[in-house]
Amino acid sequence: MQPFSDRVCGDVLGVSVDALSLDGAVRTILGWAAKRESRIVCVCAADSIVTARRSASHAQALAAADMVTPDGAPLAWILRRRGHPDQKRVCGSDLMWSCCREAAKQGTGILLYGGTPATLRLLEQRLRSELPGVNIVGAISPPFRPLSAEEDAEVVAVINRSQARIVWVGLGCPKQEAWMLAHRDRIRAVMVGVGAAFDFHAGTVKRAPQWMQDSGLEWLYRLSQDPRRLAKRYFVGNSVFLLAMLRDGLLFKRAARRG
């Protein structure tokens, strides 16, 4: 597999999001991993865009990433409107599974960082069961509190000693993006923030049916599963995103007419 050499991005409300396929993302990540490069990959949904508009630190984390995939259907739709007609979602769960499948074929070492010990056990079991040859070189469930400088240094040392080439980071947005940015060049591996993918693949949270994923309704399914925790994210966050998108669309049309 050869990684893509040319990065093509589209602007989504001020955030540069990569226009690429799932296969292209996998090839690029494995290409970086083969060279043991320290890279950052963010999967970006509407709530991440909204967070970036409110938080300079999160905007900085996304801007510093080596790859930002369109995790949410609205982002893929905007990219299609911005000149990338074949763009589809490249969501964290699909990216993680596809990449782990290819990594297993190559023997590429992967490490899991995030989630609870129980979730990590279930995730490891499934990966080993369904992906023969998968090379899981470590699994770390960090405490929910911030790590001390000494604890963090030990985590970095453990990850680097493991020879992991890809570190899957399941801390949730925006914590995982901040963590990856803080560890750029300290961790000699590709770091990929995949949000809820750990829970989906471990089976602790059920993913939406395929037809809901394809029609952009996965958010509604997740909301029905955990309304108390996700109501603010989807009702408030998605409303802010929609209003910003409509305003941005009007400005885009005006600029196009002037041009």
Query: What is the pLDDT tens value at each position of the chain, 259 positions in all?
Result: 444 557 999 999 889 999 999 999 999 999 999 999 999 999 998 889 989 988 999 999 999 999 999 998 889 988 998 899 999 999 999 999 999 999 999 999 999 999 999 999 999 999 999 999 999 999 999 999 999 999 999 999 999 999 999 999 999 999 999 999 999 999 999 999 998 899 999 999 776 677 666 656 665 556 566 666 655 665 555 666 676 666 665 444 544 455 5
Residue pair 131/107 in contact (Cβ under 8 Å)? The answer is: no
Long-range contacts of range 117-122, CB-CB < 8 Å, 24 or more positions apart? 117/141, 118/204, 119/198, 119/199, 119/202, 119/204, 120/198, 120/202, 122/202, 122/203, 122/204
**CA-based diameter of the chain, in Å?**
58
Helix H or strand E segment including 69: strand 67-70
Phi, psi at residue 157, to the nearest 5°?
Answer: -65, -40
| CATH code for residues 9-211 | 3.40.50
- Strand 166-170 to 190-193 pairing: parallel
Closest CA to 71 of 41, 42, 48, 43: 43
- Strand 9-12 to 15-18 pairing: antiparallel
Domain ranges in the chain are: 9-211
